[in-house]
Structure formats: C-alpha cells, structure tokens
Amino acid sequence: MAVALLGGRRFPALLLLRAAAGPCRHGPAGAAMQQGAAMQQGAAPEGGSGWLGALRFDNLALRSLPVDASEAGGPRAVPGACFSRVRPSPLQNPRLVAMSLPALALLGLEEPAGDREAAEAEAALYFSGNRLLAGSEPAAHCYCGHQFGSFAGQLGDGAAMYLGEVLGPRGERWEIQLKGAGLTPFSRQADGRKVLRSSIREFLCSEAMFHLGIPTTRAGTCVTSDSKVIRDIFYDGNPKNERCTVVLRIASTFIRFGSFEIFKPPDEYTGRKGPSVNRNDIRIQMLDYVISTFYPEIQAAYPDNSIQRNAAFFKEITKRTARLVAEWQCVGFCHGVLNTDNMSIVGLTIDYGPFGFMDRYDPEHICNGSDNTGRYAYNKQPEICKWNLGKLAEALVPELPLEISELILEEEYDAEFEKHYLQKMRKKLGLIQLELEEDSKLVSELLETMHLTGGDFTNIFYLLSSFSVVDSDPSKLEDFLKELTSQCASVDELKVAFRPQMDPRQLSMMLMLAQSNPQLFALIGTKANINKELERIEQFSKLQQLTEDDLLSRNKRHWEEWLEKYRDRLQKEIESVSDADAWNTHRVKVMNSNNPKYILRNYIAQNAIEAAENGDFSEVRNVLKLLENPFQEGEDFREVKEDAEEEGATAAAAACAQETRSRLPYSSKPPLWASELCVT
C-alpha cells in the first residue's frame, strides 16, 4: 500500500485515524468473549448443533468446476483448476462485533429466539473459521485480473475462503465466504488476514448498499479476535499490532470477470499469463456452470447453440453492469479499485476496499488515495466498467467470437447506462409524470451548480423534495435557499479541498522538465496531474481573499438560477395532471424513496472504527441499524442508541455512547476533520 500524503502531512495508508476517544467496553461483547472461549474448549459439538445447525449445504461449484489436486501449502501457481482446498487458520478468542439479521435471513437463520449471547458466541466460533460447519468445504477461488489497466497474472482469493453454498428457505442458493481467515495458495506475500478497520468498512458498506437498493454482495457477521498482525500503517518503520478480523460474505456467487482470465496467454505489455493457458475445456465448463446456474433463462432459450447462448449471456452481463454503475453514480458511490478481478459476473458490487461515498460534489473525486492518475475517479467509473467488459469479451474467445461481443458492447452498454441513469435521476428530482428531452440538461445543470457551490451530493438531493413549486411565497423560497446553501462548502472547507499537494520546488522542476525533456516527463509525471495542481494553486490563492458573505451571496445566485429552471420543469408536470395535490404527494414520496438521508460517510465509519478498536462495538451496531433504513426520517442518535443501552451496555460503554451523541447527526455533511481521512 502507498503512503498517503495530504498537505505535507503523513497519514495511515488504509484509513486515517484520529485520536481515539479512550477505552470503552461493551458488556454483551465481553460476555460473548467468555462464552466463545468456553465453546472453543469443547462446549459445542462439531458442526453447529445450536443456532447454526439449521444451515443446509449443497456445494455445486465444487462439483461443477475443477478443484486443484495438489495439497501443497503456501503461495503457488494453481494451473488447471478453479478452486484449491484450504483450511481456515484459528484465531484467539473470537468475538462478534456485529451481525446483520437481514443478511443471515437469506441463509434461513432467524433472529435467535433464546439466549442471544450464546448465539453470538456460536456465530463468533464458526464465522471466525475456528470451527467448521457440517457440510462446509473450504476452498479458495483462482482468478486473474487487469489491475489499474495492466494484466497482473494469477491473483485469486488471497484472504477469502469459500465455505460452501447454503440453501435458503425458498430453495435459493447462497455462497458464503470468510474474508480474512488465513493463508491460501493465492496469498502471495500477504498473510491472509484482514484487520478490524477494513473489516468494519466492508461489513457496513455491504449492507448499506443493499438497503439503498443497489445490487451487492452481503455481509452476515463481523468477528474480531485477540490474534494480532503487524501493519506498518504509516510505512515509517513504526509497525502497529492490529486485531485479526473476519467478515462473513454472502452472494449468489463470487465468480468475477477475472475468473475467465486464467486462460490468458502471455500479455504483450507485462509478459504475465494466466495459470491455465490453453485449457479451453475449463473455460467451457465455467461458461456452462455460470450460465446454467445464474442465467437459467438464457440456458433454456439456447440449449443447442452455444454461441448464441454465450452472446445472450454477454449481452445480459453488459446491461447489468451498465445499470449497476448508473446506480453508483446516482448515490455518489465510488468503488475505488475497479480492476477486472473486482467485477462480478452476475452484476453485483463486490470487494469493498478503498471505497467512498462522495460528500462535496466533485466529478473528478478520487476515493482511493493510491489512485495517483485518477483512473477510478467518480466520473471515470462508467467508461472503466465498459473497458472491463471489453477484457471479459477477450477472455471468452473462442467460445464467443470477439466480433460478436464487441458489437454487443458498443450497441448495449452506453444506451443502457444512459437510460437507467436518467430514469433514476428523474425519480430523484420528482419528474414522475413526463419524460422530456430537456431532463438530461436539467440534471447536468444541477450537478454543475453543485460543483460550483461545493454542494453536499446526498443532502442537496434530499432537500429538493421540500422545494415547493405551488407556493410562491418569497419568504419560503428564501428559507429554502438558506437550507440549500447550508449544505454547500464553507471557505475553510474549500481551502482544505484546494490546498496544494505538491512542494513548490517539485512543481517548478516538473514544469521545467515538461519543457526541456517531454519524453522523460511522460515517464515520471502526467500533464493532467500538473494541470490539476496548477488549478488547485490558482483556486487556493483566490480563496485567501474570499469572505463567507461573498461565498454565500455567490452560492445563492447559482441556486436561484437553477431553481428557476427546476420550477419551470415541475410546472409542466402540474399542467399534465388533473390533481396537483395528489401529484405533489406522490412526487415527494418518490423523491424520498430515491434520495437517502443516510449513507456510510467516511467519518461515520471512522467513528465506529475508533470505538471498536477501544472495545466498544455498539457504534458499529448502531450505524448498521441506521443504514438498514437509509431513506427514513428519524431522530438520529436517540432512535438508535436506546436499543444498545437496553441490551445492557456497561457504564463505560454508555459513556462512549454519550460522547457519540455529542457528535454531529448521522445525516450531517462531514466535519472539517473528515477531509483529512484518506483511504488506500
């Protein structure tokens, strides 16, 4: 991981940590800790006879795809196989951080009816990997990938382990994984472990995305332990011990675009190749398995023509991917690492690493601090996903000729993305009656106004449902403008956003090099980065002379101009209906079900991480509960804190909860300190 430098300061490479609030202990977690230790000593029989005893496994993937015959340990090449059998490495004293009951319900697990602490301890024991469930068959999946545009060769599940496939209560099939369970043949130079901070982020975001209505893998549990791994967060020679943590991930499948790249011959740029070159027989097996299992309607439509079947499959995954990234754009979600190995073969959001929800709207927002060129910036996500589909198309040859797949990609992707994006944006703006050509321009002008004013992406959209098109009272418009401008960046926030990032001497050297030796400059820097830094310096200089009153006046003028256009468009809606009041009620309802009040902002995740690192898991659980209802109005902290206290939190944990209450509401735009957070 790269060192993140902002404004000359050094920050942690995964997620910047503010000073912790002090030690806190969560009572039920401590009890579960003791229970878990007792169960490890043999109190529970092998296989899960308690709460988890109802899980029914049927591991179709391992029966359908080749499994590595070698039992050699340690990182190695895995040719001729899609899976390698593995064993989770035990953890010391596993204990539950949180569990998502809606996600676990997919597996047929209902809320524990009896002793909740015993159920939590059982979950910690089995979902840490310390004990295996009856019917599970741990394995690691082999795949390759293009990372930041370059083929990286064999990658695979370096920290995740397939446990098996659980049959849900309605007969559906769910693959379950443990992420962070130890070494696999694909761990390379890593240790197969994940730590508490990254695991909490993945756990919370998986569930947040589902409740936002966005296709995603799910997270059932997050289990931490007393086992430690060393992470040199700052890369400064001062390593830190961090707790090993495991997330239970759930999806129909974790097969990805990169799964089909294991057959790739030596890459012309990197020289790397897949481990199963010339094994077209396995490619055929994988296509048969994926299509028959996850696209059964396509298999049924083309039982005797594999080319037509494969073309229909590619068309469907193209359209699913286009719709998926359109959903991301409409909530301001940035994935951060859109490599081909992080693209789901069934169109899910997968592999939550350095993701981020955009706060201040910036089309060039980069959530991953190590994405130095901005390859995976917010506005680049649609074209990158299309590029990745192109790599999938190459990986399907000869079973799907490239001339067929490339035509499908060109005909379907952009059209599907634009159609779905505009449909979603119309709902977010309450344009529910008419579909006009001018709507696309209205959306673009809204985003431009957000950009000019530094508007908070989520909160601006959320406020728009309270804009009155019927009432022309000037005082109400003034009140609405006051609310809108309160969600725009302050002068101080803009100064942080546009703070120069390069040493002036370094910039001067790069500019001279660009003039004197363009070829060398092209090797060590990019013109786009230099131009962006020059723009940043210019903006920062202007901000030194800008007052808050001047900024407010300017922002109000921008919003007045856009609101006039928005009012005109809404008036056309009114003119097309017979009952304006009924239309307005429906408009507000549609907007409030498409514009979330709560998202997983980095600062919210960070507060939960800091509390958990001090032994208090209540904030993780509170945030999880909140994110299960992202569109719902509620009294931010009181609503979610009462249950935690009812569960019997200790006095120390209650003190931590009191401190959390004193922070900003969950729906607030980020505090200034949040701008220092950097994920990589």
Single out the residue of 95, 89, 90, 135 nearest to residue 119, CA to CA: 95
The three-state DSSP-derived secondary structure of 599-656 is CCCHHHHHHHHHHHHCCCCHHHHHHHHHHCCCCCCCCHHHHHHHHHHHCCCCHHHHHH
Active site residue 341: yes
Q: Rounded to an integer, what distance in angstroms lies between the CA atom of residue 357 and that of residue 331? A: 8
Q: Rounded to an integer, what distance in angstroms lies between the CA atom of residue 154 and that of residue 264? A: 10
Q: Rounded to an integer, what distance in angstroms lies between the CA atom of residue 60 and that of residue 434? A: 47
Q: 3-class DSSP state for residue 460?
A: helix
What single string gives the DSSP state of each residue in 468-497? -SS---HHHHHHHHHHHHHTBPPHHHHHHH
CB proximity list for 153: less than 8 A, separation 6 or greater: 144, 270, 272, 273, 274, 275
Strands of 76-172, DSSP E: 83-85, 95-99, 139-141, 144-147, 150-154, 160-167
Single out the residue of 303, 188, 301, 200 nearest to residue 245, CA to CA: 200
- Helix, strand, coil percentages (3-state) for the chain, rounded to 5, are 50, 15, 40
Is 603:674 a contact under the CB 8 Å cutoff?
A: yes
Single out the residue of 135, 177, 114, 128 nearest to residue 46, CA to CA: 135
Report residue 126 as tokens. Answer: 């089995």
Q: Rounded to an integer, what distance in angstroms lies between the CA atom of residue 179 and that of residue 318? A: 28
Quickly count: other Cβ atoms within 10 Å of residue 64's Cβ: 15
Single out the residue of 460, 522, 456, 529 nearest to residue 493, CA to CA: 456
Phi then psi for residue 599, to 5 deg, are -130, 170
Buried b (16+ CB within 10 A) or exposed e, 227-256: bebebebeeeeeeeebbbbbbbbbbbbbbb
Is 598:626 a contact under the CB 8 Å cutoff?
A: yes
Single out the residue of 649, 552, 598, 613 nearest to residue 22, CA to CA: 613
Q: Rounded to an integer, what distance in angstroms lies between the CA atom of residue 465 and that of residue 479? A: 14
Q: Which of 68, 115, 236, 341 is catalytic?
A: 341
The residues annotated as belonging to the active site are: 341
